Amino acid sequence: MPQHGNPYLSGLFAPVRDEITTYDLEVTGRIPEELDGRYLRNGPNPLRVDDPEAYHWFTGEGMVHGVRLRDGRAQWYRNRWVRSDSVAQRLGEKIQHGPRHLDMDVAPNTHITRFAGRNLALVEGGPLPYELDDDLNTVGPYDFAGTLPGGLAAHTTIDPATGELHCVAYCWAWPYVQYLVAGTNGRIRRHVDIPVSGRPMMHDFSLTARHVLLYDLPVVLSPERAGHRGAFPYAWDPDRPARLGILPRAGGAQDVRWLEIEPCFVFHPMNAYESQDGTQITVDLIRYEKIFDEGHSGPDECPPALDRWTVDLIAGRVRREPLDDRPVEFPRVDPRRLAGRHRYGYGVVEPGNGYGETLMREHGGASGHGGAAASVGRIGVGLVKYDLERGTSEVRRFDPRGDVGEAVFVPTGPETAEDDGWLMTYVFDPEREATDLVILSARDITGPPVARVHLPVRVPVGFHGNWLPERE
């Protein structure tokens, strides 16, 4: 445990202090020639922490780590802070002076995606996304050519059928929940204000061919937590009903149908799809029975697990079916299957008490910082592949002293089978004390890696990323 008592600032979570660029990286194995693009992942990396006891991992400035693959080579690795005005000022650089929402100056730390030809670093709660160029340099805040009505979201879905971007945005400062659709021209073409009481945390949403699923759950902004030094400002509210909102894609706020569900919290759905007759919606997701209840600093008491919810649109009921009792998080599917029926899903198998303990690996588990057991650092994590038609799974384990991040699926071609592709993830190698970009065959995740790209530095534990193919 670090002397300052904040595990988010040491071990595998410790921020890196320098931006670097390295060319022609060493590779074990063979990088497939078909891979031409960039694997990018975002995560918190505080530039400066004035009060270590008060720092929370979720609030650190975003840093994007990327590897450029081309012609069977790893051409470069780069890591760059997202230049919000405050980050640029601290680095002694020119301030962008771009648009803002509610004067929020935030360096997005949660996700990165490409849309309408722009690489966008994302965060929730009200701030704007930031655009980066292909070398990870910050272009500036992006407001969709002035059409974005507020902030964006940490999670967006690009509909494979239309190429449009969908998301559900919320803001804690000026409370709202909005369903947004951006056209392929990079402008918001649809905006629906969703009436929701209080200030709920709505980290993600689900999209089907005809509906949007809204997760209004018992985690809300807590003034008491917000005033607690080092505390995450959201808390479990046992008096708040849990409900799932069903909004027709073409509907308005008055068309949202709210269905009561058991109290829980959902950070990340895997995917959702409709039955052929349109009477049911199936959504696979990661469910927490309770979260942000006992500890002040993050996910703590209940492990996350994979569930299937079946929404009966005729009866107006939601049936829950647990699919796996192992702790798992960061679910992904083949991006070509989003909003449609999927067979395979992927996730990070987590040790002990799940997401909260993943945050605390190797840090002893002080109760004020997530409640992880002291033995967590001796338990390995890995990747899981689910065959949801057969009800089977297989797990790829990595060195228990290290860390494995979210796995991104990359198809071998536009028309190939659903699991014909690769999984990419950052894996910390304790022998080198640095991180590898590991490429696995999605059809054989337990076999030898297709390739390991050896990065020159450690990539701190982070959040989400994507494979961004080279522009055509």
Indicate if the pLDDT at residue 1 is higher than 90.
no
Residue of higher predicted confidence among 228 and 362: 228
Cα diameter, the chain: 60
* Lookup: tokens for 95: 């301030």
Least trusted range by pLDDT, from 1-10, 13-22, 31-40, 171-180: 1-10
Tell whether the model's pLDDT for residue 152 goes beyond 70: yes
Report the distance separating Cα 374 and Cα 372, nearest Å: 7
C-alpha radius of gyration, the chain, whole number:
21
- To the nearest whole number, what is the mean pLDDT of the chain? 90
Q: Please state, as a whole number, how many other Cβ atoms lie within 10 Å of the Cβ of residue 332.
A: 22
CA distances from 26 to 29, 405, 449, 453 (A): 10, 20, 15, 6
**Residue that the structure tokens 């089978």 belong to:** 417
Beta-sheet strand order (sheet of 317-322): 269-274, 280-287, 305-312, 317-322
Higher pLDDT, 58 or 361: 58
- Evaluate whether residue 1 is within a structural domain: no
| Rounded Cα–Cα distance for residues 167 and 399 (Å) | 36
Q: Identify whether 186 is part of a domain.
A: yes
Structural element, H or E, at residue 90? helix 85-90
Determine the Cα–Cα distance for residues 352 and 303; give it in Å rounded to an integer.
Answer: 8
H helix or E strand, kind and range, residue 157: strand 157-158
Q: Under a CB-based contact definition with an 8 Å cutoff, are residues 333 and 344 in contact?
A: yes
- What's the length of the chain? 472
Under the banding of pLDDT at 50, 70 and 90, the label for residue 364 is very low
**CA distance readout (Å), 156 to 153, 166, 239, 349, 435:** 7, 6, 29, 23, 27
Report the candidate in 43, 49, 85, 89 with the shortest Cα–Cα distance to residue 63: 43
Cβ neighbour number for residue 297 with a 10 Å cutoff: 27
| Structure confidence at residue 442 (pLDDT) | 98
Residue at 109 is within a domain: yes
- Find the helix or strand (DSSP H, E) in which 355 lies: helix 355-359
What is the pLDDT at residue 375?
25
- pLDDT of 353 > 50? The answer is no
Report yes or no on 2 lying in a domain.
no
Contact 437, 455 (CB under 8 A): yes
Q: 107 near 128, Cβ under 8 Å?
A: no
The dihedral through the CA atoms of 170, 174, 175, 178 has a sign that is negative
Q: Are 109 and 95 in contact (CB under 8 A)?
A: no
Q: Smallest Cα–Cα separation from 109: which of 165, 178, 53, 55?
A: 55
pLDDT at position 327 over 90: yes
User: Is 101 a member of any domain?
Assistant: yes
Query: How far is residue 74's CA from residue 424's CA, in Å, rounded to a whole number?
Result: 13
* Domain CATH for 214: 2.120.10.30
Q: Which residues pair with 141 in a beta bridge?
A: 130
DSSP secondary structure letter of residue 303: -
Instruction: Give the rounded percent of residues in the chain with a pLDDT score beyond 90.
Output: 81
Dist CA 257 CA 102 (whole Å): 30
Helix (H) or strand (E) holding 357: helix 355-359
Percentage of the chain exceeding pLDDT 70: 90
For residue 424, which of 386, 456, 396 has the smallest C-alpha distance?
396
Mean local confidence (pLDDT), 315-341: 97
Interatomic CA distance for residues 328 and 129, integer angstroms: 28
- Cβ distance 349 to 383 under 8 Å? yes
Contacts for 223 with CB less than 8 Å, ≥ 6 apart? none
Q: Is 70 exceeded by the pLDDT of residue 371?
A: no
**Count of the separate structural domains present in the chain:** 1
| Cα separation, 431 vs 398, whole angstroms | 12
Asked if residue 377 is part of any domain, the answer here is yes
Q: What is the pLDDT of residue 301?
A: 63
Burial class from Cβ neighbours inside 10 Å (0-12, 13-18, 19+) for residue 157 reads buried
Does 263 reside within a domain? Answer: yes
Its sign, for the CA torsion 442, 446, 447, 451, is positive
Whole-angstrom distance, CA of residue 101 vs CA of residue 176: 13
Residue 262 resides in a domain = yes
User: By residue range, what is the domain housing residue 32?
Assistant: 7-469
